[in-house]
Each structure stands twice: as structure tokens, then as C-alpha cells.
């Protein structure tokens, strides 16, 4: 019998790539969103797996909805990728952000505890838990100092997951993933905003791209690489948390320059700085150390920074057929 996995948040970037990976490993994949009847499934369609994923409507904030779904599906593995996913939006909607991430994680952990403690549970943590790392890359022992409502919520969900692992013996772990991008990112994320604008301008648009602080530094990786680490975490003999990162940080200005160069343009001719786009509290540098993942999971990123930018720009220019 194939293993059965439930991916909460299957319609998002990570959910779609993870579903594809699980299918390649022979899993029976069940995907959940708040309303499976109306949610956009264009990412699953772009990857050619829409008809291979069994869809369910689950509201992670509703304990009854979660318990009924887990009891009905009876998965061996649950991947919790749900919740409000934008750092910028979390400042405008902090209560919704915290409720969707913290309560959703709690309800899923409770469902596992009461229905089948043998279920392996993955929680999507975030580099935002660490806040500003400076030039010293964060690892699994680095203290959390979140600087956004999103980061606070993710830190709480990581702590909850660790608590359920220790208190109830669950196989529950968190992946502390640093920024990971792809053509499947929503265009409200700055990386897609940049690559989409570069492609349009190269095609003849006379628009100007407005961006905030170009000096911030981020550890950017390729999303399909990162879902491989998620899966690997649940294949270990014992549950542990892992940082997933490339170990190299680049300025946002570097990302802009690389994207426009891929389009044959000089970014300085097309980009304006807009202070209004800066966040109330921003992180100057976010850098991770994935040494533990390399040692115990055998995981290292396959696509580097310039490969990531080139793939995103190609997808923008060629359409869905270029999605990797």
C-alpha cells in the first residue's frame, strides 16, 4: 500500500512542489485548503498534477474540521504549510496572521495526538523566527528574535510543535526555512514583483518598478530544493528541527540587478526607490546555516542564487510551460 500524506496548504508554492515530490515517491497525496471548491489550483495545474491530488476542504482554525478530516483521511504524514504567509501583510493583519498560524498548528497537533500519535507531522517554521541574524548565520541553537507579527506567530508554532514532541512523544518537527522562491510565488512577493516587472519591461512596457529598501540581505534558495528537505525530515528515525538555507546572503539590489540583466536591461534605468514600501521593522540581514541538514539529511541546495533568478525570469518570459 502506498503511504498516504496530507498537505495542508496544497494550493501554495510549497504545497504544489511538495505534492509533486510526494507523488514521485509513490505517495497517495491528499491536499487541503479552506475551500477546495473555489480555491485556485493553477500551481498544481502548472506542474501537471492537478488530477493526481485528492482535494479536501479543511479549516485549520476550526478544531472540528481538522479532527474530522484527519480521522477520515488517516494519513501517515501531515505537512502543515497553512496560514497567512506574507510578512508585509502581517503588519496590516496581525490578529489574522497569528490566529491562522498558531491556532491552525495547535489544532493539527491535537488531532494527531488524539486520532493517531503515529502520524508524522511537519510544521513549516520560518527564518523570520530568528529576526536579524547579522553576519553570523542562524542555526538550530540560535535564539528567536522575531521582528514581525508573522515571525512571532511562526516562532510560537515552532515552540508548540517542540512541546508536543516532548510532552506526548509525537514525531513532530519544524523546518526553519529561509527565503525560497520560484515562478509559483504570488506576485505580491518582492521576488516575483521584480522578475515579472523585468519581463514586462523587456517586452516593451514603459512602467517603472518601485521598491523599498534595496540594502536588505536575504538567503535566497530554490523552492523545489527546499521541499525535498521537508520530506527528508519525516523520513528520519527521530524527529528534529532543521534549518534549511543556502548559507549565502545577497542584497535585494543584487536580486534586482540579476533579474534585469537576465532580461538584457540595466536595472538602474527602470527602478525607483519608494520609502513608503519599507516595513515598520525590517531585517537588515537574514542568513542561515544548514550544516545539520547536510550532515543528517544529506541535503544541500542544488540551485544557486543566479540559477534561481534565471529560472524565474525565464518562466516570466515563456509562461507556465517554463515552470520547473
How would you classify the pairing of strands 217-218 and 250-251? antiparallel
Show Cβ contacts of residue 42 under 8 Å, excluding neighbours closer than 6 positions.
none
Q: How far apart are alpha carbons 221 and 284 in whole angstroms?
A: 18
The values of phi and psi at residue 122, to 5°, are: -110, 130
Q: How far is CA 10 from CA 13, 33, 57, 73, 80, in A?
A: 8, 7, 11, 15, 9
Is 150 tagged catalytic? yes
SS3 69: helix
Query: Does 17 qualify as catalytic in the annotation?
Result: no
Pick the closest to residue 308 from 141, 183, 124, 212 (CA basis): 183
Catalytic residue among 150, 182, 262, 316: 150
Q: Out of 65, 100, 105, 126, which one is annotated catalytic?
A: 126
SS3 helix, strand, coil % of the chain, rounded to 5? 45, 15, 40
Catalytic residue among 128, 228, 253, 262: 128
Q: How many CA atoms lie within 13 A of 30 on its CB side?
A: 18
Cα 32 to Cα 54: distance, rounded to the nearest angstrom: 8
Instruction: For residue 33, give the 3-state DSSP assignment.
Output: strand
Active site residue 128: yes
Q: What is the dihedral of CA 294, 232, 105, 30, to 10 degrees?
A: 150
Give catalytic residues, as residue numbers. 126, 128, 150
Amino acid at each position: 500500500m502506498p503511504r498516504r500524506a496530507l498537505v495542508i496548504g496544497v494550493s501554495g508554492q510549497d504545497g504544489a512542489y511538495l505534492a509533486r515530490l510526494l507523488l514521485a515517491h509513490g505517495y497517495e497525496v491528499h491536499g487541503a485548503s479552506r475551500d477546495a471548491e473555489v480555491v485556485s489550483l493553477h500551481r498544481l495545474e502548472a506542474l501537471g498534477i492537478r488530477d493526481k491530488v485528492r482535494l479536501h476542504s479543511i479549516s485549520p482554525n476550526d478544531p472540528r474540521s481538522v479532527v474530522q478530516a484527519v480521522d477520515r483521511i488517516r494519513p501517515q504524514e501531515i505537512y502543515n504549510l497553512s496560514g497567512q504567509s506574507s510578512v508585509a501583510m502581517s503588519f496590516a493583519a496581525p490578529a489574522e496572521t497569528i490566529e491562522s498560524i498558531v491556532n491552525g498548528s495547535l489544532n493539527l497537533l491535537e488531532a494527531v495526538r488524539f486520532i493517531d500519535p503515529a502520524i508524522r507531522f511537519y510544521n513549516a517554521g520560518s527564518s523570520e523566527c530568528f529576526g536579524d541574524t547579522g553576519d553570523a548565520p542562524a542555526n538550530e541553537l540560535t535564539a528567536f528574535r522575531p521582528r514581525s507579527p508573522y515571525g512571532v506567530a511562526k516562532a510560537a508554532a515552532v515552540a508548540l510543535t517542540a512541546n508536543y514532541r516532548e510532552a506526548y512523544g509525537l514525531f513532530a518537527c519544524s523546518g526553519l526555512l529561509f527565503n525560497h522562491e520560484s515562478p509559483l510565488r504570488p506576485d505580491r512577493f518582492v521576488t516575483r514583483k521584480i522578475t515579472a516587472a523585468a519581463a514586462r519591461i523587456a517586452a516593451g512596457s514603459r512602467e517603472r518598478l518601485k521598491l523599498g529598501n534595496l540594502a536588505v540581505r536575504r538567503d535566497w534558495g530554490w523552492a523545489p530544493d527546499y521541499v525535498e528537505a521537508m520530506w527528508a525530515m519525516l523520513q528520519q528515525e527521530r524527529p528534529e528541527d532543521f534549518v534549511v538555507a543556502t548559507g549565502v546572503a545577497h542584497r535585494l539590489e543584487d536580486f534586482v540587478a540579476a533579474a534585469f540583466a537576465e532580461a538584457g536591461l540595466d536595472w538602474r534605468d527602470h527602478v525607483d526607490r519608494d520609502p513608503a514600501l519599507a516595513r515598520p521593522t525590517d531585517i537588515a540581514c537574514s542568513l542561515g546555516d544548514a550544516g545539520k541538514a547536510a550532515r543528517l539529511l544529506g541535503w544541500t541546495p542544488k540551485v544557486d542564487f543566479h540559477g534561481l533568478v534565471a529560472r524565474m525570469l525565464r518562466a516570466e518570459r515563456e509562461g507556465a510551460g517554463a515552470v520547473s
